[in-house]
Amino acid sequence: MEDLQIFDTFAINSKIRETYKVSFINDFDSLKSLVEKGKLVAVIDKKIAKLFPALSEILSSSRKVEIECNEQNKTIDYCQEVIRRLIEQNTRKDDTLIAIGGGITQDIVAFVSSILYRGVDWKFYPTTLLAQCDSCIGSKSSINFDQFKNLIGTFNPPSQIFINPLFLDTLSESEIRSGIGEMLHYFFTEGIDIADQISEQYESLLHDRSRLLYFIKNSLRIKKQVIEIDEFDTGYRHIFNYGHTFGHAIETITEYQIPHGQAVSIGMDIANYISLKLGMQEMESFQRCHTILRKNIPPFSLNQNNINEYLSALSRDKKNKDNRLGCILSKGPGKVEKMFLPMDDVLKQYLLDYSKEYTRSV
Amino acid sequence: MEDLQIFDTFAINSKIRETYKVSFINDFDSLKSLVEKGKLVAVIDKKIAKLFPALSEILSSSRKVEIECNEQNKTIDYCQEVIRRLIEQNTRKDDTLIAIGGGITQDIVAFVSSILYRGVDWKFYPTTLLAQCDSCIGSKSSINFDQFKNLIGTFNPPSQIFINPLFLDTLSESEIRSGIGEMLHYFFTEGIDIADQISEQYESLLHDRSRLLYFIKNSLRIKKQVIEIDEFDTGYRHIFNYGHTFGHAIETITEYQIPHGQAVSIGMDIANYISLKLGMQEMESFQRCHTILRKNIPPFSLNQNNINEYLSALSRDKKNKDNRLGCILSKGPGKVEKMFLPMDDVLKQYLLDYSKEYTRSV
């Protein structure tokens, strides 16, 4: 792909809809013009509607549904409630749903638009860093089911995505850190250069959010290259589980107190440490990555009190095979590889040793 | 397509899965061999499990979920219940669901397999004439939502379909008549020859079900030609609404007391009558079709007591445009056409005149 500094729009090839476009914008002109054309129903995160009166003003003449976006609402039951309200708004098969919000808004609207009338068109204005740098492309929707996270879903990309950095200004520092963790995981699958750049600017990025755009574009560029080859996540795309297997289990045992992208940062550090111990990665390489990652790692420790719970969370990962842990390890930046690890005392000891040496306790 | 009398298998081209195969079988060897390979979870209509002990015997060593198939269960809530039971059976992403039952079993399994783990493989053994001659191909799943019929759904064909005429022997005469109505609607979109043949054998088909196979194959042959061109029902496939717009409204006002395919038979007769009145069809052509259709039309009348309710049901059809009735009319067998009719007193009078002259009261 050409230099993303220059281009304000790029296209993703998809098996579901031949192609869909990502546009980087600075205003809401695109939304205004959609509203003027009619035929749209906005589905907007209630918090966003409140934070951006200008948005509500633009949508004042259009049909809209405000939704409560939290993890507890990422269910089929809440999606049914959204469908009910869309029908009240007289939504028809030839209408377009406009999702405005973060990853949860995306999941709900993507899922609803997959099944309502056997599919209606949708477009997306992502408002969080995580949604802008990662989830907005890639086609997946994820819905929780009973105690199972993301058990339900479809592949259904929006027909268009509009990324407006204006939304980043209202995010908390914690949300920025989370987005940085997710971006780092893309950068490390390619090499170390962009990870180094983000590390150098780490503190200023927390405050000067306009600088994030360069990294968002690079994150999407890397993801695009992989999802265009393996949209349905059957093989090659698994490399993006890097940091996620070990990260998800951290989210589980801390009851999601650690933001996703930061848990992924710990997850990458753990994957690198295990790779080091297995002789796949040199100490120098581990240390270079650790120096970058530790800036984004919050206080956390694995110890005798929680290690068994952590191993138990790992053992429930749906990518496991024959009781072996399916995860992505690394031979160094740009060289990640899928592995299946025996879940034995050796692994347990590696995890305890890692934490003792490299994490700070709460 | 080659002569379907000779071939016991044919393939459907699909945009969703490149191709899927329909096999005509006489035994359950295919099911036995699937069971032996493991990796399957059967989802079977409870009634079928009871009627065919041989089937239950084959499935005795495999994971299975028995479901209650009735229109009231064609909901997202019941699908969630099925998912819950599939998880209890330890269903994984790489398992195959085997649906055994009629159209409702198909709708539930097709929908569940679209959304569970973002899609799992499924295969289908249709057991009703309607499912064998029509719904088993074409990719659609349909789920009711609140008071709305088939508002929710996905496009998700099975990876394989096995048609076994053995199942037809346990069907009621009414189910056979319903299937014949649905098949007639396919035959009439092509011409009159096969409709004539089914009419000649009408009485014997009700009892000697082995004779139905020839008509099932022809019905699927005609449907295949159209769905391969317009799988997602955006234009050309609309011809298959022939008889359905007027038929659905009959089902609605009779609270589904008239079986679907028989309502479609009345619907075709009405569409032909309106075509006649609009000068699109000759009386000779109307009469030829009516002679065939009336064998499959149960006692029913439109009159001053129910005509407004009938028009109101027609007015809610989702294919209407600007308050005009979207329906398929006919210039004669093989020449059906999409039209939008004003819903005025003229239409009302046509409907009353039709019923007075051509239907028998209950």
Q: How far is B343 from chain A (nearest CA, A)?
A: 21
One domain, residues B190 and B334: yes
SS3 (DSSP) at B325: strand
Task: Find which of B93, B95, B115 to mutate to test the A interface (most A CBs within 10 Å of its CB).
Answer: B115
Whether chain A has a CB inside 8 Å of the CB on B75: the answer is no
Q: Which of B119, B146, B170 is the last residue of a domain?
A: B170
User: Which stretches does DSSP call E strand in chain A?
Assistant: 9-13, 19-24, 40-45, 63-67, 96-101, 121-126, 143-145, 148-152, 160-163, 324-330, 336-342
Mean pLDDT of B313-338: 93
Q: What is the pLDDT of residue B316?
A: 87
Tell how strand A148-152 and strand A143-145 pair up.
antiparallel
Residue B303 in domain? yes
Whether chain B has a CB inside 8 Å of the CB on A191: the answer is no
What is the spatial order of strands in the sheet that B63-67 belongs to?
B9-13, B19-24, B160-163, B121-126, B96-101, B40-45, B63-67
For A153, which of B84, B118, B152 is closest by C-beta distance?
B118
Copy the structure tokens of residue B167: 């199942």
> Would you call B152 and A84 a contact, using CB atoms and an 8 Å cutoff?
no
For B118, which of A84, A115, A140 is closest by C-beta distance?
A140
One domain, residues A328 and A182: yes
Q: What is the pLDDT of residue B2?
A: 44
Q: Which residues of B touch A87 (CB under 8 A)?
A: 146, 148, 151
Q: How far is CA A296 from the centre of its chain?
A: 16
Q: What is the pLDDT of residue A319?
A: 84
One domain, residues A133 and A187: no
Closest Cα to residue A260, out of A225, A296, A294?
A: A296
**In this structure, what CATH number is given to the domain that contains residue A275?**
1.20.1090.10
pLDDT tens, B37-47?
A: 889 999 999 99
What kind and span of H or E run contains B113?
A: helix B103-115
Domain that holds residue A220: 173-358
Amino acid at B166: L
Q: What is the pLDDT of residue A6?
A: 55
Q: Is the pLDDT of residue B1 over 70?
A: no
> Would you call A93 and B151 a contact, using CB atoms and an 8 Å cutoff?
no
CA distance linking residue B23 with residue B134, whole number of Å: 14
- Rg of chain B over all Cα atoms, to the nearest angstrom: 21
Residue B4 in domain? no
Whether chain B has a CB inside 8 Å of the CB on A114: the answer is yes
pLDDT tens, B57-111?
A: 999 999 999 999 999 999 999 999 999 999 999 999 999 999 999 999 999 999 9
SS3 (DSSP) at A276: helix
One domain, residues B14 and B149: yes
Mean pLDDT of B18-44: 94
One domain, residues A40 and A178: no
Residue B320 in domain? yes
Q: What is the pLDDT of residue A317?
A: 85
Segment 77-106 of chain A within 8 Å of chain B by CB: 80, 83-84, 87, 92-93
Whether chain A has a CB inside 8 Å of the CB on B113: the answer is no
Q: Which residues of B touch A318 (CB under 8 A)?
A: 92-93, 117
CA distance linking residue A111 with residue A139, whole number of Å: 10
Q: What is the pLDDT of residue A172?
A: 97
Q: Which of A170, A192, A225 is the last residue of a domain?
A: A170
Closest Cα to residue B34, out of B102, B98, B88?
A: B98
Find out whether A106 and A133 touch, Cβ atoms under 8 Å.
no
Q: Is B172 exposed, middle or buried (0-12, 13-18, 19+ CB in 10 A)?
A: exposed
What is the value of ipTM here, to two decimals? Answer: 0.93
Helices vs strands, H then E, count in chain B: 15, 11
One domain, residues B99 and B64: yes
DSSP assignment, residue A322? T
Q: What is the pLDDT of residue B143?
A: 97
Kindly list the averaged pLDDT for each block of 10 residues, start to end, along chain A of length 362.
64 91 94 92 97 94 96 97 97 95 98 97 98 97 93 97 96 98 98 98 96 97 96 94 97 94 98 97 98 97 97 90 93 97 96 96 77
Q: Which residues of B touch A233 (CB under 8 A)?
A: 118
Whether chain A has a CB inside 8 Å of the CB on B275: the answer is no
> Would you call B154 and A76 a contact, using CB atoms and an 8 Å cutoff?
no
Q: Residues near A82 by Cβ (< 8 Å), separated by ≥ 6?
A: A43, A65, A67, A108, A109, A112
One domain, residues A304 and A156: no
Within a 13 Å sphere around the CA of A305, how many CA atoms are in the beta-carbon half?
A: 5
pLDDT tens, B132-178?
A: 999 999 999 999 999 898 999 999 999 999 999 999 999 999 999 99
Q: What is the DSSP track for B167-222? A: GGGGS-HHHHHHHHHHHHHHHHHH-SHHHHHHHHTHHHHHH-GGGHHHHHHHHHHH
CA distance linking residue B148 with residue B55, whole number of Å: 35
> Based on the structure, what is the number of domains in chain B?
2
For B153, which of A118, A152, A233 is closest by C-beta distance?
A118
For A76, which of B80, B117, B119 is closest by C-beta distance?
B80
Residue B110 in domain? yes
Residue B2 in domain? no
Q: How far is CA A189 from the centre of its chain?
A: 15
One domain, residues A177 and A166: no
Q: Which residues of B touch A115 (CB under 8 A)?
A: 111, 114-115, 143, 152-154
Within 10 angstroms of residue A159's Cβ, the number of other Cβ atoms is 15
One domain, residues A270 and A312: yes
Q: What is the pLDDT of residue A2?
A: 44
SS3 (DSSP) at A190: helix
Residue B29 in domain? yes
One domain, residues A155 and A188: no
CA distance linking residue A13 with residue B134, whole number of Å: 34
The more confidently predicted of residues A333 and B5 is: A333
Q: What is the pLDDT of residue B5?
A: 54
Mean pLDDT of B218-235: 96
One domain, residues A179 and A165: no
Segment 3-22 of chain A within 8 Å of chain B by CB: none
Q: Which of A106, A139, A170 is the last residue of a domain?
A: A170
What kind and span of H or E run contains B24?
A: strand B19-24
Q: Which residues of B touch A114 (CB under 8 A)?
A: 114-115, 154
> Would you call A118 and B148 a contact, using CB atoms and an 8 Å cutoff?
no
Q: Is the pLDDT of residue B6 over 70?
A: no
Question: Alpha helix locations (H) across B208-344?
Answer: 212-227, 244-253, 260-277, 283-294, 307-315
pLDDT tens, B258-296?
A: 999 999 999 999 999 999 999 999 999 999 999 999 999
For A117, which of B92, B118, B151 is closest by C-beta distance?
B151
Chain B nearest-CA residue for A18 = B15
Whether chain A has a CB inside 8 Å of the CB on B145: the answer is yes
Q: How far is B337 from chain A (nearest CA, A)?
A: 22
CA dihedral B77, B69, B157, B57 (to 10 degrees): 120
pLDDT tens, A293-322?
A: 999 999 999 999 999 999 999 998 888 888
Residue B91 in domain? yes
Q: Is the pLDDT of residue B235 over 90?
A: yes
**In this structure, what CATH number is given to the domain that contains residue B29?**
3.40.50.1970
CA distance linking residue B257 with residue B243, whole number of Å: 17
Q: What is the pLDDT of residue A5?
A: 54
Residue A350 in domain? yes
One domain, residues A212 and A341: yes
CA distance linking residue B223 with residue A97, whole number of Å: 32
Would you tell me the crossing angle of helices A345-358 and A260-277 to the nearest 10 degrees? 120
